[in-house]
Amino acid sequence: MNWIEVLGWTGSAVLVLSLLQTRLLRLRVINLVGCLVLLVYNTIVEVWPMVGLNVVLALINVVYLWRMLRTRHDERSYTVLEVPADDAYLAYVLDRHREDIARINPGFTFAPADVDAAYLVLHGDATVGVVLARDAGGSTAEVLLDWVTPAYRDFSPGEFVFRDSGLFSGRGVRRVLTPAGMQNPYYGRIGFRPEGDRWVLDVEPARD
């Protein structure tokens, strides 16, 4: 097998790998790489219909990636919906994804009586995240769960809950405290500060 054939097989393998991804951003990036590798391969072997196909697929991936990255932190792309802790749809979402939630948050157990604030994060018609918090006393809210569906895990949509200070200040909350020892948190990018093994957000008082 010469290097040209290796190039072709590599491009095909990368495309297959991309289709196994559950995260949308990662899928598009890997698929784009596969398309570019196959574009080079098909140009070398002069299979022009496949060259055209990979050019089109690469452009589609570029457009989708541009849209994803452009709206990644755009609050107009996401809706935060506050729901009661005993909301039936909230219970359905948590039960539907309980295995993934347990894997990402192994210590979490859902008990509506322990939840004082519950938020669903929506992207269009899809529910892409859940944030649950409890009153920890001293005008402090402690995050019990900050979970995102696998497809949107590269986008951290939970940030839209914490960026709207009114969601917490309206409850008299002056600071938000994350669970201890969170791995690879995104909180430092959205205004939280480290405090020991936790992250803390100072909440602006509600405006009259």
Question: Mean pLDDT, consecutive 10-residue segments, the chain of 208 residues?
Answer: 87 93 90 95 92 95 90 81 95 94 86 94 92 91 92 83 77 86 75 87 73
Question: What pLDDT is recorded for position 127?
Answer: 95
How far CA 78 is from CA of 121, 125, 203, in Å, comes to: 7, 10, 21
- The verdict on 64 and 89 lying in the same domain is no
If 0-12 CB within 10 Å is exposed, 13-18 middle and 19+ buried, where does residue 90 land? buried
Domain assignment of residue 66, given as a range: 3-70
Query: Is 208 domain-assigned?
Result: no
- The verdict on 113 and 195 lying in the same domain is yes
Q: How far is the C-alpha of 29 from the C-alpha of 36, rounded, in Å? A: 11
Question: What pLDDT is recorded for position 106?
Answer: 79
- The verdict on 137 and 180 lying in the same domain is yes
Query: Is 111 domain-assigned?
Result: yes
- The verdict on 30 and 83 lying in the same domain is no
Question: What pLDDT is recorded for position 22?
Answer: 83
**Degrees (nearest 5) of the Cα angle 85, 175, 95?**
25
Domain boundary among 70, 87, 107: 70
Q: How far is the C-alpha of 56 from the C-alpha of 171, rounded, in Å? A: 51
Question: What pLDDT is recorded for position 180?
Answer: 78
What CATH number is associated with residue 187? 3.40.630.30
- The verdict on 51 and 133 lying in the same domain is no
Tell me which long-range contacts 3-12 makes (C-beta under 8 A, separation of at least 24).
4/41, 4/44, 4/45, 7/37, 7/40, 7/41, 7/44, 8/38, 8/41, 8/42, 8/45, 10/37, 11/35, 11/37, 11/38, 11/40, 11/41, 12/38
- The verdict on 91 and 191 lying in the same domain is yes
Domain boundary among 47, 70, 93: 70
Domain boundary among 70, 97, 119: 70
Question: What pLDDT is recorded for position 138?
Answer: 86
Query: Is 146 domain-assigned?
Result: yes
